[in-house]
Chain A
Amino acid sequence: MQVYILGGFLGSGKTSLLMKLATMFSERKAKVAILVNESGEIGVDGATLKAQGYDAMELPSGCICCSLSGTLQTALKNIKNDIDPDVIIIEPTGLALPHKVKELVRISMIEEDADVIIGICDIQRFRDLIKKKEEFFTRQMQGSEFILINKADVAQPGEIEDATAWLSERFPNKPIIPVSVKDGTNLEKVYELIK
C-alpha cells in the first residue's frame, strides 16, 4: 500500500491534482482511498469530490487545534482494515505542514510500503507567496520528494524558469516538474515517478 500526501499552499491545486491522480490509479485498476481535510470547520472539498464521483473520506476539521492527529490515525487504520486499498491519497489543509502528516502516517501502524509527499505550488501566485510567506512555504516544501509547479499552462514567459531556479537553489536534490493539472501536462510523468 502506497500513501501519497499532497502538500502545498492554499489554492495551489491540491484537490484538482488529487482527482487526477485518483483517476489515473483507478484506470490502472488500483484501489484508491481518499482522505481530505480542510482548514476551519466548514469543508468544501469533500462535497466537491463526492459530486465529481469520488468516494472521499473527510477528516472532520472540527477543532483545528486539537482534533486532527488522533482522527487521522484512526481513519488510516479503518481504511486499512475495511478497504485495504492499494493507494491512499491524503490532502491536508493548505496551511498544514505535510512532513508532520507523514510522521503521523508512519506511526499509525498501517504497514504502508511507501509514504510520499508530493509538493505542489501555484506559478501564478508564486511571487506573492514567496514575498509574504517564504519561510512557511519553504517549510511546507521541505519534506517533499519532488515539487510540482502547477498552472504551467497560464505561466508568463520566464516565470517557470524563475520559480524552478528558486526552488532548485533551496531544494537541490528534489526534482522540480512544471505541470498543468488542468490540461494534464506532465501528469503522466508524475505518475511514473510515484507509482
Chain B
Amino acid sequence: MSGNEENSMKEAGGCAAGFRGKFFNFNADAEARLADALMAVGKYVQGESGCLLGHIKAAVVNEKGEGITLNLIDMDNGVEHHGTLPRCDVVTFDFMCAVLDVDEHELTHKMLHAIDDSGIDYFIDKESLEHKHHHDHKECDDPDCDCHKHVQCDDPDCECHHHHHPDGECDDPDCDCHKHVHEDGKECDDPNCSCHHHHHSFADMIDENGHFSHDHHHHDHEHGECHCHDHDHEHEHEHHHEHGEECHCHDHEHHHDDECHGHDEEEKPKKKGLFGFLKKH
C-alpha cells in the first residue's frame, strides 16, 4: 500500500504540501484574509497547471475544539467557508494543498508567502515544514520503498545530500537528489549551475517568531554563492508570460521594502502582527 500511495500520487501527477501553526487575534477579518491567501495559492496553481484540480484547504480550531474549514476547489466558486468561529486570541491552523501538475517546493513557497502576505498575525510551526521521509523507517516493511536506498556518494563535491540522506551519502546514479531541477520542472543540463532550490529547507526559513523569513530571496545574492535567482527570473517570466499574466518576480523584491505588494490587484492594508515590531523589514 505504501508503494501504492506513492505511485498513485505520482501516477496522477499530484503533489501535496502544507504546514501548521497558530493565528493570533483571529476574527472575521482574519478569516477573510485567510480566504484571500487560499485564493492567491489557487491562482498560482491555476497559472501553472492550467486549472485547479485538487483542493486548497485550511482548518482553524480554537482551544475548545470549535473550528472552521476553508476549502478552495474551484476558482470560479471561490473559497467555501464551513462552520463558525467566534473571535479568538489564539487558534491553531492547518493549511494544506493537494493539487496536480505543480512543483511541490514552489507550492510550499507560494503558501508561505500567501500566509505572510495575508496580514494575519501568525506563527508557523517549523516542524510541520520539515520533511518526514525518514521518521517512519523503523516501521516500514516495504522492500520497494525508495526511502531505504541510502548508499554512499562518490562525488566529493556533491552537496545534494545534506537534506535528504541523513543516514549517509548516496552513490545511486538514479537518485533524484543528484538532478538539478529548476522551478519549471525541467532538469538542468548546465554543468556550472549551482541552483539547489529543492534542497533549501523551508523550515530553516522560519524565524524564532514563527515568521517566514524574507531573507531567503536575497541572502545568497549578497554572498554571491547562489545563482538560483538568475534562473528563477527566466523561468518565472516564462511561466507567467505564457499564461498571459503579469510577472510576479518583482513581488518578492517589494516585500522587502513594504512599498508594493503585487501589481495586479489592490491589497488589503497589512495588519501589524503581534510580532511585527520584531520583523527585520
How distant is B17 from chain A, measured CB to nearest CB, in Å?
6
CB–CB A47/B11 < 8 A: no
Contact status of A51 and B65, CB under 8 A, knowing A40-B17, A65-B146, A68-B5: yes
Identify which of residues 59-108 in chain B touch chain A, using a CB-to-CB cut-off of 8 Å. Answer: 59, 61, 65-69, 71, 73-74, 77, 82-83, 94-101
Contact status of A67 and B11, CB under 8 A, knowing A42-B19, A44-B59, A101-B1: no
CB–CB A96/B4 < 8 A: yes
How distant is B68 from chain A, measured CB to nearest CB, in Å?
7
Tell me if A41 is interfacial: C-beta within 8 Å of chain B: yes
Chain A residues closer than 8 Å to B134, beta-carbon distance: 63
Chain B residues closer than 8 Å to A104, beta-carbon distance: 1
Chain B residues closer than 8 Å to A93, beta-carbon distance: 5, 9, 16, 98
Q: Once bound together, how far apart are the Cα atoms of A44 and B97, in whole Å?
A: 10
Q: Once bound together, how far apart are the Cα atoms of A52 and B51, in whole Å?
A: 30
CB–CB A47/B8 < 8 A: no
Chain B contact surface mostly: mixed
Identify which of residues 46-78 in chain A touch chain B, using a CB-to-CB cut-off of 8 Å. Answer: 47-48, 50-52, 62-72
Contact of B4 among A47, A63, A97, A124 (CB under 8 A): A97
Tell me if A170 is interfacial: C-beta within 8 Å of chain B: no
Tell me if A132 is interfacial: C-beta within 8 Å of chain B: yes
How distant is B69 from chain A, measured CB to nearest CB, in Å?
4
Identify which of residues 125-148 in chain B touch chain A, using a CB-to-CB cut-off of 8 Å. Answer: 128, 131-137, 139-142, 145-147
Task: Tell me the number of A-to-B contacts counted with CB atoms below 8 Å.
Answer: 172
CB–CB A39/B139 < 8 A: no
Contact of A51 among B3, B57, B69, B141 (CB under 8 A): B69
B8, B54, B100, B139: residue with the most chain A Cβ atoms closer than 10 Å: B8
Contact of A70 among B82, B101, B141 (CB under 8 A): B141
Tell me if B6 is interfacial: C-beta within 8 Å of chain A: yes
Chain A residues closer than 8 Å to B11, beta-carbon distance: 136, 139
How distant is B114 from chain A, measured CB to nearest CB, in Å?
14
Chain B residues closer than 8 Å to A100, beta-carbon distance: 1, 4, 8
Contact status of A41 and B67, CB under 8 A, knowing A64-B5, A64-B16, A68-B2: no
How distant is A14 from chain B, measured CB to nearest CB, in Å?
10
How distant is A117 from chain B, measured CB to nearest CB, in Å?
14
CB–CB A40/B12 < 8 A: no
Tell me if B35 is interfacial: C-beta within 8 Å of chain A: no
CB–CB A65/B147 < 8 A: yes
Q: Once bound together, how far apart are the Cα atoms of A95 and B14, in whole Å?
A: 7
Q: Once bound together, how far apart are the Cα atoms of A195 and B199, in whole Å?
A: 50
How distant is A129 from chain B, measured CB to nearest CB, in Å?
6
Q: How many residues of A contact B (CB 8 A)?
A: 44
- The interface bits of chain A over 147-162 (1 if a CB of B lies within 8 angstroms of the residue's CB, else 0) are 0000000000000000
CB–CB B57/A44 < 8 A: yes
Chain A residues closer than 8 Å to B6, beta-carbon distance: 64-66
Chain A residues closer than 8 Å to B142, beta-carbon distance: 66, 69
Tell me if A114 is interfacial: C-beta within 8 Å of chain B: no
CB–CB A66/B136 < 8 A: yes
Closest to B51 in A: A128
How distant is A131 from chain B, measured CB to nearest CB, in Å?
9
How distant is A190 from chain B, measured CB to nearest CB, in Å?
21
How distant is B145 from chain A, measured CB to nearest CB, in Å?
4
Q: Once bound together, how far apart are the Cα atoms of A125 and B17, in whole Å?
A: 22
Chain B residues closer than 8 Å to A71, beta-carbon distance: 139
10 residue pairs, one from A and one from B, having the closest CB atoms:
A40-B16, A42-B18, A69-B1, A51-B67, A11-B73, A39-B16, A65-B6, A47-B59, A39-B98, A66-B140
12 contacts between A and B (CB under 8 A): A11-B54, A11-B55, A11-B73, A38-B96, A39-B14, A39-B16, A44-B59, A63-B2, A64-B6, A94-B55, A100-B1, A101-B1
Chain A residues close to B by CB (< 8 Å):
9-11, 38-45, 47-48, 50-52, 62-72, 93-97, 100-101, 104, 122, 124-125, 128-129, 132-133, 136, 139
